[in-house]
Chain A
Amino acid sequence: MTDFLNYLILGLTRGSMYALIALGYTLVYGVLQLINFAHSEVFMSGAFGSYIIIHAVVGDGKSLPWFGVPLVFILGLGSGALTGAVIAWSLERVAYRPLRRRGAPKLAFLISAIGMSFFLSQLAGKLFNRFTNNQFPTYFQQNRRVLSIAGADVSVIQLTLIVTAVLMMLFLDRLVSGTKLGRSIRGVAEDAPTAALMGINIDKTISRTFIIGGALGGAAGFLFGTAFTFSNIMGFLPGVKAFAAAVLGGIGNIRGAMIGGLLLGVVENLVPTAPWNGHAWIGIGWTDVVAFVVLVLVLVVRPSGILGERLGRAA
Chain B
Amino acid sequence: MKTGFFSSPHVKRLAGCMALAFVLALMIGNQEGSQDDYGLAFRQAIFSPRIILFIVIGLLVFAAMTFWPYITPYLLRPGVRPLAVGGITVLVSQTLLKWSDDGRTGNGKFNSVASKAANTDGLAPMAKLFFSNYLGWILLLVTFGLGAAAILISLRALAWVAAVLGVVGGIWAYTSQAAVRDFLGTPDHSTGGGVALIGYLTLAAAALATALATGDIADTRAFVNRLLAWRPGMPLVVLGLIVGVIAFVQATWFSPQGSNQTLTDTKTFFQGNGLANLAYQYLAWLGYVLFIATLLTAAAASYLRHRILGWVAAGLGAVALLLSLITMYDMTDLAAAAGVDGATGPWQNLGSGAWMACAAFFVLAGAGLVVATLGARDEQGELAPAEAPAARSSDTLSRGFSAPGSSKVFLFVILATALFYPPTATGFWQKVLVSEIGIYVLLAIGLNVVVGWAGLLDLGFIAFYAIGSYTTAYLTGALPFKPPSFLHLSPLLAIPFAIAICLLAGVALGAPTLRLRGDYLAIVTLGFGEIIRITANNNPGNITNGPKGAFGIPHPRIELGPIKFVWGQNNLQYWYLLLVLIVIVVLLFRRLEASRLGRAWAAIREDEVAAQATGINTTRVKLLAFAIGASTSGVAGVFFASQIGYINPENFVLNNSILVVAYVVFGGMGSLPGAMAGAAVLTWLPEFLKDQVPAEDRQMWIGAVVLLMMIFRPAGLIPAKRRAAELRGLNRSSSAEVGAVPEGEGMGVRA
Q: Do A and B come from one complex?
A: yes
Within residues 162 to 204 of chain A, which ones have a CB less than 8 A from any CB in chain B? Answer: none
Known contacts: A105-B726, A122-B697, A289-B530. The answer to whether A303 contacts B714 by CB under 8 A is no
Residues of A within 8 Å of B662, CB to CB, are: 111, 114-115
Known contacts: A104-B727, A111-B666, A288-B534. The answer to whether A29 contacts B519 by CB under 8 A is yes
Tell me whether A145 is interfacial, beta carbon within 8 Å.
Answer: no
Interface segment out of the listed B167-175, B499-507, B508-516, B628-636? B508-516
- Is B33 in contact with A128, judged by CB distance below 8 angstroms? yes
Known contacts: A108-B710, A110-B457, A115-B707. The answer to whether A244 contacts B715 by CB under 8 A is no
Docked Cα-Cα span, A192 to B32, in Å, equals: 45
Tell me, rounded to whole Å, the shortest Cβ–Cβ distance linking B637 to chain A: 21
Q: Out of B31, B654, B665, name the residue touching A110 (CB < 8 Å).
A: B665
- Is B711 in contact with A126, judged by CB distance below 8 angstroms? no
Q: Count B-side interface residues using an 8 Å CB cutoff.
A: 64
Tell me whether B581 is interfacial, beta carbon within 8 Å.
Answer: no
Tell me whether A73 is interfacial, beta carbon within 8 Å.
Answer: no
- Is B711 in contact with A300, judged by CB distance below 8 angstroms? no
Docked Cα-Cα span, A77 to B520, in Å, equals: 32
Docked Cα-Cα span, A119 to B666, in Å, equals: 16
Docked Cα-Cα span, A131 to B35, in Å, equals: 9
Known contacts: A110-B457, A244-B527. The answer to whether A126 contacts B33 by CB under 8 A is yes
Tell me, rounded to whole Å, the shortest Cβ–Cβ distance linking B68 to chain A: 14
Tell me whether B106 is interfacial, beta carbon within 8 Å.
Answer: no
Interface segment out of the listed B92-100, B257-265, B640-648, B698-706? B698-706
Docked Cα-Cα span, A235 to B439, in Å, equals: 29
- Is A119 in contact with B704, judged by CB distance below 8 angstroms? yes
Closest A-B pairs by Cβ, 8 of them: A118-B703, A292-B527, A115-B706, A104-B714, A119-B703, A122-B700, A115-B707, A112-B710
Known contacts: A101-B748, A111-B661. The answer to whether A95 contacts B707 by CB under 8 A is yes
Residues of B within 8 Å of A120, CB to CB, are: 703
Residues of B within 8 Å of A285, CB to CB, are: 534, 537-538
- Is B748 in contact with A98, judged by CB distance below 8 angstroms? yes
Known contacts: A122-B700, A299-B520, A304-B520. The answer to whether A129 contacts B35 by CB under 8 A is yes
Docked Cα-Cα span, A212 to B532, in Å, equals: 36
Within residues 85 to 128 of chain A, which ones have a CB less than 8 A from any CB in chain B? Answer: 90, 93-95, 97-99, 101-112, 114-120, 122-123, 125-128
**Secondary structure of the B side of the interface?**
helix
Known contacts: A247-B519, A251-B519, A296-B513. The answer to whether A289 contacts B534 by CB under 8 A is yes
Residues of B within 8 Å of A288, CB to CB, are: 530-531, 534
Docked Cα-Cα span, A300 to B31, in Å, equals: 47
Tell me whether A295 is interfacial, beta carbon within 8 Å.
Answer: yes
Q: Residue-by-residue, is B84-109 near A (CB-CB < 8 Å gives 1, otherwise 0)?
A: 00000000000000000000000000
Residues of A within 8 Å of B34, CB to CB, are: 129
Docked Cα-Cα span, A112 to B700, in Å, equals: 13
Residues of B within 8 Å of A291, CB to CB, are: 527
Q: Out of A103, A106, A296, name the residue touching B512 (CB < 8 Å).
A: A296
Q: Residue-by-residue, is A286-310 near B (CB-CB < 8 Å gives 1, otherwise 0)?
A: 1011011101100110011100000
- Is A118 in contact with B520, judged by CB distance below 8 angstroms? no
Tell me, rounded to whole Å, the shortest Cβ–Cβ distance linking A220 to chain B: 19
Docked Cα-Cα span, A102 to B16, in Å, equals: 19
- Is A94 in contact with B31, judged by CB distance below 8 angstroms? no
Q: Out of A99, A107, A127, name the residue touching B33 (CB < 8 Å).
A: A127
Tell me whether B307 is interfacial, beta carbon within 8 Å.
Answer: no
Known contacts: A105-B715, A123-B26. The answer to whether A112 contacts B706 by CB under 8 A is yes
Q: Residue-by-residue, is A39-50 near B (CB-CB < 8 Å gives 1, otherwise 0)?
A: 000000000100
Interface residues of A (CB under 8 A from B): 29, 35, 48, 51-52, 55, 90, 93-95, 97-99, 101-112, 114-120, 122-123, 125-131, 134, 240, 243-244, 247, 251, 283, 285-286, 288-289, 291-293, 295-296, 299-300, 303-305
Beyond A95-B707, A115-B710, A286-B534, 19 extra complex contacts between A and B, CB < 8 Å? A55-B38, A102-B745, A104-B727, A105-B726, A107-B661, A107-B669, A108-B710, A108-B715, A109-B710, A110-B457, A115-B704, A119-B707, A125-B700, A126-B41, A244-B526, A285-B537, A288-B531, A289-B535, A304-B520
Tell me, rounded to whole Å, the shortest Cβ–Cβ distance linking A255 to chain B: 18
Residues of A within 8 Å of B538, CB to CB, are: 283, 285-286
- Is A243 in contact with B512, judged by CB distance below 8 angstroms? no
A-B contact pairs, 15 of them (CB 8 A): A98-B748, A99-B714, A105-B669, A105-B727, A106-B518, A112-B714, A115-B702, A119-B704, A126-B31, A126-B32, A130-B31, A243-B523, A285-B534, A289-B535, A300-B513
